[in-house]
């Protein structure tokens, strides 16, 4: 498989990269420069603010990004900004009549490469520039699809695109963490339904990643070895919570699942990031991703809304021997017709209530297969 990249700069300065695998040349530009039509009507009502504010009570950064408030909200399919440009007089985000996989800078980002310096503040508060990169990853030119329904070859290519993005963004000096994720479903606030994921290149270690690394470091100090390897061994020996497995990856509902239908997809060998995965391990990742995604699509006959997030090696230049590459799915339903909400106990106390038994949810997912 041979990956080709063709990078352009949009009129507003954002980059866009066409990824091509089928040996085709980069698609012809249908918009030869010039200013594309704005995706929203009229100018922003006020100049946006983008900055990081320190939360002294929880010791973490909060991202303030007010331009996001104006982001495009569930447009009709014929105005989808993520489809290829069919009518050159009304270009979408992708100025080409077709594409394979595309990555571009988010028009409504949480971080930007040229983030302004924030107004100063005083202790116990602190502010910092929201420096970083927010990318959108288009999985396919087809508007109505899901990642699981796409051919395995497309999922496999996406793995290589993620890997390429991880490598490129990791090399930026301000980037401490490359966070690859997908929010799927209107129920989770997705504002564009075209199949796509996102990448946030953080200027700091996100709090959840920091806590996970600290826990793994304590485990190594007290019990020895990698915590994720120990979890994997436990799940593989008990078997009751396994969902699917191949040579390279194991998918399970963890004993400690905070959400019903939560699935962790963990590398069977101790690998720290996408960069460490061999081509065969990447085949395995793509294969098991597709398997799990199809289960989420078919369990109830409609695509289950979820968050899919990847945890891997920070890119802050420090050593993190406890990192173990894995993907976590956080579905939003507690049953076919009921959403799981994060309410007072989860947000105000930080304690998750799981109304279901992980062993039962794993069994349901084990048996969920496409009906033919």
* Sole window of 33-41, 122-130, 156-164, 312-320 interacting with a copy of itself (rule: CB under 8 A): 122-130
DSSP state of 117: P
Q: Which residues pair with 244 in a beta bridge?
A: 251
Q: Which of 263, 315, 334, 365 binds a copy of itself (CB under 8 A)?
A: 334
Q: What are phi and psi of 45, to 5 degrees?
A: -65, -20
Burial of 4 (0-12, 13-18, 19+ CB in 10 A): middle
| Cβ–Cβ < 8 Å for 262, 254 | yes
Q: Which residues pair with 19 in a beta bridge?
A: 5, 101
* 43 forms part of the interface with a copy of itself (CB under 8 A): no
* 121 forms part of the interface with a copy of itself (CB under 8 A): yes
> Which residues between 149 and 178 bind a copy of itself (CB under 8 A)?
177
Q: Which residues pair with 120 in a beta bridge?
A: none
d(CA 24, CA 17): 14
- Can you say how many angstroms the Cα of residue 314 is from the centroid of all Cα atoms in its chain? 15
* 181 forms part of the interface with a copy of itself (CB under 8 A): yes
d(CA 317, CA 320): 9
User: What's the min distance (Å) between Cβ of 204 and a copy of itself?
Assistant: 8
Residue in 203, 152, 148, 239 with CA at minimum distance from that of residue 317? 203
The one catalytic residue in 6, 55, 143, 196 is: 196
Give the residue with the Cβ less far from a copy of itself, 281 or 328.
328
User: What's the min distance (Å) between Cβ of 163 and a copy of itself?
Assistant: 19
| Cβ–Cβ < 8 Å for 156, 107 | no
Q: Which of 39, 64, 217, 275 binds a copy of itself (CB under 8 A)?
A: 64
> How far apart, in Å, do the first and last CA atoms of the chain sit?
30
* 63 forms part of the interface with a copy of itself (CB under 8 A): yes
Q: Which of 1, 37, 58, 90 binds a copy of itself (CB under 8 A)?
A: 58
Q: Please state the length of the chain.
A: 372
CB burial string 98-113: b at 16+ within 10 A, e below: ebbbbbbbbbbbbbbb
Q: Kindly state the number of chain residues that form the binding site for a copy of itself, as judged by CB under 8 A.
A: 84
* Sole window of 13-21, 242-250, 277-285, 304-312 interacting with a copy of itself (rule: CB under 8 A): 304-312
Q: Which of 200, 249, 296, 333 binds a copy of itself (CB under 8 A)?
A: 200
* Sole window of 66-74, 98-106, 144-152, 273-281 interacting with a copy of itself (rule: CB under 8 A): 66-74
* 44 forms part of the interface with a copy of itself (CB under 8 A): no
Give the residue with the Cβ less far from a copy of itself, 70 or 100.
70
Q: Which of 100, 245, 281, 328 binds a copy of itself (CB under 8 A)?
A: 328
* 308 forms part of the interface with a copy of itself (CB under 8 A): yes
Q: Which residues pair with 196 in a beta bridge?
A: 138
Decide if 196 is catalytic.
yes
* 49 forms part of the interface with a copy of itself (CB under 8 A): yes
Tokens 């996100």 correspond to what residue?
Answer: 206
CB burial string 77-94: b at 16+ within 10 A, e below: eeebbbbbbeeeeebbbb
> Which residues between 228 and 267 bind a copy of itself (CB under 8 A)?
228, 230-231, 234, 255-258
Q: Taking CB under 8 A as the rule, which mask of x and - marks residues 211-230 in contact with a copy of itself? A: xx--xx-xx---x---xx-x
* Sole window of 81-89, 145-153, 267-275, 333-341 interacting with a copy of itself (rule: CB under 8 A): 333-341
**Catalytic sites, residue numbers:** 196
């Amino acid at each position: 498989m041979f990956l080709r990249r063709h990078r352009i700069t949009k009129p507003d300065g954002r980059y866009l990269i066409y990824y091509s695998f089928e040996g085709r040349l980069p698609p012809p530009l249908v918009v030869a420069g010039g200013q594309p039509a704005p995706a929203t009507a009229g100018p922003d009502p006020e100049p946006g603010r983008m900055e990081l504010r320190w939360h002294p009570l929880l010791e973490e950064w909060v991202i303030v990004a007010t331009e996001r408030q104006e982001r495009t909200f569930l447009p009709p399919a014929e105005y989808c900004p993520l489809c290829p440009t069919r009518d050159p007089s009304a270009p979408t985000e992708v100025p080409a009549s077709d594409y394979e996989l595309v990555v571009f800078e988010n028009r409504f980002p949480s971080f930007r490469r040229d983030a302004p310096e924030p107004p100063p503040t005083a202790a116990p508060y602190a502010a910092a520039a929201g420096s970083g990169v927010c990318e959108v990853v288009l999985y396919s030119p087809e508007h109505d699809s899901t990642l699981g329904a796409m051919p395995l070859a497309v999922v496999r290519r996406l793995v290589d695109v993620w890997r390429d993005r991880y490598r490129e963004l990791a090399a930026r000096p301000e980037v401490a963490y490359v966070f690859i994720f997908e929010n799927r479903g209107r129920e989770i606030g997705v504002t564009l339904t075209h199949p796509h994921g996102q990448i946030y290149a953080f200027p700091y270690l996100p709090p959840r990643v920091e806590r996970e690394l600290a826990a793994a470091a304590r485990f190594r100090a007290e019990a020895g070895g990698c915590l994720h390897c120990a979890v994997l061994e436990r799940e593989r020996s008990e078997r009751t919570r396994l969902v699917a497995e191949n040579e390279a990856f194991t998918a399970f509902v963890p004993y400690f699942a905070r959400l019903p239908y939560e699935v962790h997809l963990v590398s069977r060998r101790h690998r720290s990031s996408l960069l460490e995965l061999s081509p065969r391990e990447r085949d395995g990742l793509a294969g098991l991703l597709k398997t799990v995604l199809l289960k989420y699509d078919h369990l109830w006959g409609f695509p289950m809304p979820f968050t899919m997030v990847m945890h891997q090696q920070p890119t802050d230049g420090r050593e993190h021997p406890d990192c173990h590459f894995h993907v976590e799915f956080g579905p939003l339903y507690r049953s076919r017709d009921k959403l799981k909400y994060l309410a007072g106990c989860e947000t105000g106390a930080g304690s998750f209530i799981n109304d279901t038994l992980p062993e039962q949810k794993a069994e349901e997912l084990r048996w969920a297969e496409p009906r033919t």
